[in-house]
Amino acid sequence: MDKRTLLFLVLSLLVLTVYFTARAWLIPPPPVVAEVEEPPVEDPARPAIEPVQPGGGEDEPPTATEEQPAESEKPLETKRVAVGSLDMAAPYRLLVTFSSKGGTIERIELADPKFRDLENRAGYLGQVAPIATPRGLKIGVVGAGTPAAIAGITAGDILVSLDGESLLTPDDLTRSLHNRKPGEEVKLVVEPGQGGPRRTVPVELSARPLELIHPENDPHDPTIEHPLSFQLALAQNGDKAFASFLRNAEWETKEIPEGVEFSRKLSETQLAEANRQGSLEVVKRYRLLPISAPGSETETETNSSGYSLHFEIEIRNAGDTAQPAVAYMLDGPTGLPLEGWWYSYKVATGWSAGGARDVVGRSQSGAFVMQICSAIVKNYENDKPNDSDLLNAGEKLDFLGGDTQYFCAVLIAANDANAPVVQRAFARPVSELDPINKSKRTDVSFRFVPQGKILEPGESLKHSFVIFAGPKQPELLARHEISTILQYGWFGPVARLMLLILHTFHAIVPNYGIAIILLTVMVRGLMLPIGRQAAKNAQMMQVMAPELAKIKEKYKTDLQKQGQAQQELFRKYKYNPMTGCLLMFLQLPVFIGLYRGLAVDIELRQAPLIPGLDWASNLAGPDMLWRWDAYLPEFLAGENGYLGPYLNVLPLVTVALFVVQQKLFTPPATDEQTKMQQQVMMFMTIFIGFLFFRVPAGLCLYFIVSSLWGVSERLLLPKPKLPSELTGGEPAPKSGLSKLTDRLTQMVSGSSNGEPKKGRSRRSSKKR
């Protein structure tokens, strides 16, 4: 084995080691998350999760007054209000569940059936917030358009049993629905909340909608939930917090048209903890904006897409004395989807890939900023939270939000004179830092602190926002002026062009699998002259292989003469070694552009290769033929394993075609060194299968069609026409198609190399 071959092997092993080490570090094992939908249970032995605060802006140590209301106040019961609908006939595309706990958004579900939950395929009753009672499960809320609402179940009703199974805890309801499928009918025994006879209610379950925002459980203790979305506390002296209890306290609730209003009044005793006098009233108003009516003239309706809420914060001086600079701390959305975190490649700014959930922002005068999940966690681990700052102080806020691969939840400030001015805006983990589950799955969000305002008696600080919560469709983002969230990365123009062509084909043939095939045929067709020349070069290289071997043997000690002899041989055969490289060079932008397009375009999400089949039902992810993690080791088949929890067929077909191409395009080995090099190349080709095992099915489909095109070009290529002085009067070597045809002819005729088989000759002699 010569030095070059040994070096190649060492580099190959080094690449393997770096790749597997990086995967083990970047893709940690997933936590076990409970699917129980119930209110959090207070654990007196463990404090509630409080995110790590940034240096220079820490919350003041909590006092008894901050952590809970005064003892004289009557505690309020958590109240939930559902606004919007899952019915596509309604003028909304969201079903939003609000909670009086902190005056927050507890859950946002998307109504469009294109955006279903890809991982939980159990039948869906509705997020009813069940509470255990001696009689059964008390329904906390029922959203319009859910199967429960369609069946006539209302908030306050008691669920006694489901198909004869008693329902005593929320766990019972979760387990009962786990094995039910969408479209299946179940029978619920319901007791009216105000009393009355029980009745049996048939309910047809539906597919589970995607929850864009939802309460996420701590992986170590499922009874503890992460903070709800858009919590608020007051701030003073820069970004020092006071009245932190507002984040989890119960707020007064008032339903308003298409929305809800939460309010909380701070007493003199509570303000005294912050060395203030008087009284403050804090109000949060949410209103779900309906889809714009044609010809609408009002600004609110014009900007509405059915995926947006109007959000207003008002802090009013309800006392008789002036209040020094009053500001607030507003936290962002939490619990965004984790779908596909173990296989997806999220496009981010710069050179790094994004996490399952990242934080984005922009000021009205600044550039777009994205903080990657892993970088946010690393900053807090290294005690450098200031490195997670998003915007500069003194700038007017444009937007801040949480970003996933295909969806986002963004707080957009009004673009007017009253737009809030940034005091501080930074990204942060909203859950405890987990040493295992940190690089891609950590729940991260933002915290926004505007500049304060001195409030005279009766005066208010008021800021208005729009909360966009929906898919990252270009037209929707452009409508809300947040298009920069959609990042295409390298070769962005090529990715946009590929997607434009792909959507054009889809408009003609409404199947994205066929559209990808047509796109591949179009690309390879445009490259036909170059591809044909590359195939001829490969064919010519096989012809020249014996002579190249002779040249290497003749000038093995003189590399300069060896190179000159090879160049002379290339000129004789009119062979250009750069043609094959040119084909690869031209295909590289197409490959990366299509890869980035598949990683960005939400239209490919949930697009099936063959409608009606679960296999390859999401071209933006692996084809997932069979779940095999129960039969293979965790390091191979776990969600963080090298191969993933599913057997994928399309990557295997892709690698098999790569091997066929290599056999057709590689000249036969003429010595041991060349043979070893070809074996190493075969090993690297198989190694590519590991790299491709989790790529989107749509990308595998592109490679399969492109490889079949390349194989066809090679097999259909006629035999090369060589001058007689180069062939020595012997017939030119046969093409790949001629060899294949001869082989088939031999199999049919029962002959080999043109000579009759001995067995057949003996039988013929006997007959004669």
Sequential DSSP letters for 659-707: HHHHHHHSPPP-SHHHHHHHHHHHHHHHHHHHHHTTS-HHHHHHHHHHH
Q: Give CA–CA dist 438/373, Å, rounded.
A: 8
Asked if 579 contacts 537 with a C-beta cutoff of 8 angstroms, the reply is: yes
Place of tokens 């080691």: 17
Tell which wins on pLDDT, 342 or 134.
Answer: 134
Nearby residues of 250 by Cβ (< 8 Å), 6 or more positions away: 75, 76, 77, 78, 79, 100, 101
List, in sequence order, the alpha helices (H) in 461-527: 474-479, 492-508, 512-526
Rounded to an integer, the average pLDDT of 261-290 is 91
How far apart, in whole angstroms, are the C-alpha atoms of residue 424 and residue 427?
A: 10
Query: H helices of 220-372, where?
Result: 268-272, 299-303
Contact 455, 328 (CB under 8 A): no
CA distances from 477 to 95, 344, 390 (A): 20, 22, 20
What CA–CA distance (Å, rounded) separates 304 from 27? 38
Cα 197 → chain centroid = 47
DSSP state of 48: P
CB 229 within 8 A of CB 216: no
Rounded to an integer, what distance in angstroms lies between the CA atom of residue 225 and that of residue 307?
Answer: 25
pTM over 0.75: yes
DSSP 8-state code for residue 234: E
What secondary structure letter does DSSP report for 525?
H
Average of per-residue pLDDT across 746-760:
46
Question: How would residue 431 be classed by pLDDT, with cut points 50, 70 and 90?
Answer: confident
142 DSSP 8-state letter: -
500 φ/ψ sector (left φ>0, alpha ψ -120 to 50, else beta)? alpha
Q: Is 440 helix (H, G, I), strand (E, B) or coil?
A: coil
The CB-based long-range contact list for 470-476 (8 Å cut-off, 24+ gap) reads 470/93, 470/94, 470/110, 470/212, 470/305, 470/307, 470/308, 470/407, 470/408, 471/110, 471/112, 471/115, 471/307, 471/406, 471/407, 471/602, 472/406, 472/407, 472/408, 472/600, 472/602, 473/602, 476/305, 476/307
* Residue 167 CB partners (closer than 8 Å, separation 6+): 130, 136, 137, 159, 160, 161, 173, 176
Percent of the chain residues topping a pLDDT of 70? 78
d(CA 688, CA 77): 57
Task: Say which residue, 464 or 659, is predicted with more confidence.
Answer: 464
Give residue 222's pLDDT band: very low, low, confident or very high (50, 70, 90).
Answer: low
Highest mean pLDDT among 305-319, 570-584, 679-693: 305-319
List the helix and strand counts (H, then E) for the chain. 20, 27
If you average pLDDT over every residue of the chain, what do you get? 80
Positive or negative, the Cα torsion across 155, 158, 162, 168? positive
Q: Which amino acid is at 289?
A: L
Across 11-20, 74-83, 605-614, the highest mean pLDDT is recorded for 605-614
Residue-level pLDDT at 188: 96
**Looking at the predicted structure, is the pLDDT value of residue 35 above 50?**
no
- Phi, psi for residue 578 in degrees, rounded to 5: -85, -10
- Contacts for 22 with CB less than 8 Å, ≥ 6 apart: none
Distance from C-alpha of 130 to C-alpha of 226, rounded to nearest angstrom: 19
Instruction: Name every residue whose Cβ is closer than 8 Å to that of residue 615 and which is 6 or more positions away in sequence.
Output: 609, 623, 624, 625, 649
For residue 156, the SS3 value is coil
Could you tell me which of 561, 541, 543, 562 has the C-alpha nearest to residue 552? 562
Q: Say yes or no to pLDDT of 37 above 50.
A: no
Mean pLDDT score, 115-133: 92
Separation of alpha carbons 159 and 42, rounded Å: 24
Mean pLDDT of 339-351: 81
CA 145 to the chain's CA centroid: 27
Q: Which residue is it, tokens 């699998």? A: 513
Q: 348-352, 592-596, 664-668: lowest mean pLDDT where?
A: 664-668
The C-alpha atoms of residue 385 and residue 263 are separated, in whole angstroms, by 32
Residue that has been written with the tokens 């062009």 in this structure: 497
Cβ pair 512, 611 in contact under 8 A: no
User: Do 289 and 259 contact (CB within 8 A), yes or no?
Assistant: no
Q: What pLDDT was estimated at residue 612?
A: 86
Sign of CA dihedral 646, 652, 655, 657: negative
- In this model, does residue 183 exceed pLDDT 80? yes
Strands 131-133 and 136-138: what pairing?
A: antiparallel
For residues 509 and 518, the answer to whether their CB atoms sit within 8 Å is yes
Kindly tell me if the per-residue pLDDT of 476 is higher than 60.
Answer: yes
- The whole-angstrom separation of Cα 709 and Cα 419 is 57
Provide the pLDDT for residue 61. Answer: 34
Least confident segment among 169-173, 300-304, 448-452: 300-304
Least confident of 4-8, 383-387, 458-462, 631-635: 4-8
Residue 6: is its pLDDT beyond 70?
Answer: no
Q: What is the mean pLDDT of residues 680-694?
A: 81
Decide the pairing of beta strands 460-471 and 308-317: antiparallel
CA atoms within 13 A on the CB side of 138: 13
**Are the C-beta atoms of 326 and 276 separated by less than 8 Å?**
no
pLDDT band at residue 29 using 50, 70 and 90 as cut-offs: very low
Q: Is 158 helix (H, G, I), strand (E, B) or coil?
A: strand
φ and ψ of 448, to 5 deg: -115, 130
Furthest-apart CA pair in the chain: how many Å? 127
Q: What are phi and psi of 654, to 5 degrees?
A: -60, -50
A 10 A CB-CB count for 142 gives 24
Task: Kindly tell me if the per-residue pLDDT of 220 is higher than 90.
Answer: no
Higher pLDDT, 406 or 534: 406
Q: Where residue 21 falls among pLDDT bands split at 50, 70, 90? A: very low
Residues 6+ apart with CB under 8 A from 450: 327, 328, 397, 420, 421, 422, 423, 463
Task: Compute the C-alpha angle 481/230/361, nearest 5°.
Answer: 35
The angle subtended at Cα 204 by Cα 202 and Cα 205, nearest 5°, is 130
Q: 260: which strand partners?
A: 255, 286
State whether the Cα torsion 378-380-384-389 is positive or negative.
positive
| C-alpha span between 341 and 638 (Å, rounded) | 13
